[in-house]
Structure 1
């Protein structure tokens, strides 16, 4: 014997309303509201990258590192790993005062993917000019231009996007 179907009475108690469609509508409505605004998130991520490029161009390691999470990891173009925002900031302060002092970066966001609503993978291309040298093993992609690909993993925490991890890879010159 099957159990009787579940029903709710509407406000006037004049007709029966099936529970399943009401619950389905509530679920879909709450799910749509929970996803936030992907277009706004993309704009926020684009802005974060733009602010970081401005900080590079100013040689400001504090501003360049400010959107990293406290426990972030960063892998630079020679494979060195920096753990935590403080170490990331210190390393960038060092390069902004030596090899990359006065350099300029043009950063283009290539792709943003949201594997979850609060997680973003952001792929960028960096074109750096005006550098006085490069780390051992790194060569300009073209004369006077170092091109790199940066991949960030970001998470939205308390309404703010934070960089959890970054990896920078140099684009090798054409043979």
Structure 2
């Protein structure tokens, strides 16, 4: 094989490999957006088990007051408690603000949560606007056994404008 043909073959194989390495994430994005939608529906039913169903068993979650919860079970217990008290009857609207793939199986997902109809707010948290709590949630998600799962989440409340 000539040197030029060999070099051309290497270039073509490199381009094919690069194209495969940068897979189209359209299906992944749809799956992640569906996960967020299902989680939002679970919040609106105040169903802590369903809300945490897509967390991996040893996930971490930091709530809006900075408390760290470790493990899906602990995250579910905390959400069951708030669904029975301050967020009982609340309604959430969640928008995916930004979605970045860090590789084939890892994504960072930024969402905006708008919560209304709540009974109260955690100590130190104020409504962003009268009757509205807006938070920014950042998720780290990973594909596990073909399904997108939440590895970590951190929720931060938006402060009211002065």
Q: TM-score, normalised by structure 1?
A: 0.86
How far apart, CA to CA, are the structure 1 residues paired with 2:126 and 2:17?
52
Give the number of the structure whose alpha-carbon radius of gyration is greater.
1
How far apart, CA to CA, are the structure 2 residues paired with 1:25 and 1:157?
32
Q: Return 121-130 or 155-164, whichever deviates more.
A: 155-164
What does 1:45-124 correspond to in 2, within 5 Å? 45-124=32-111
Residue in 2 aligned with 1:138?
Answer: 125
For these two proteins, the number of residue pairs brought into alignment is 162
Residue in 2 aligned with 1:153?
Answer: 140
Gaps of 5+ in 2: none
Question: Which whole-Å deviations, capped at 9, do the CAs of 1:14-59 have from their partners, x for residues lacking one?
Answer: xx98333324323432443344431111111111111110000000
What does 1:158-169 correspond to in 2, within 5 Å? 158-169=145-156
Greater length-normalized contact order (CA 8 Å, ≥ 6 residues apart):
2
How far apart, CA to CA, are the structure 2 residues paired with 1:103 and 1:136?
17
How far apart, CA to CA, are the structure 2 residues paired with 1:24 and 1:68?
42
3-state SS of the aligned residue for 1:116? coil
**Considering only aligned residues, what root-mean-square deviation do their CA atoms show, in Å?**
1.6
**Per-residue deviation, 1:78:** 0.3
Residue in 2 aligned with 1:19?
Answer: 6
How far apart, CA to CA, are the structure 1 residues paired with 2:71 and 2:14?
39
How far apart, CA to CA, are the structure 2 residues paired with 1:139 and 1:53?
21
How far apart, CA to CA, are the structure 2 residues paired with 1:20 and 1:155?
37
How far apart, CA to CA, are the structure 1 residues paired with 2:149 and 2:7?
39
3-state SS of the aligned residue for 1:98? coil
Question: Which whole-Å deviations, capped at 9, do the CAs of 1:135-165 have from their partners, x for residues lacking one?
Answer: 1000111111100000001111222111111
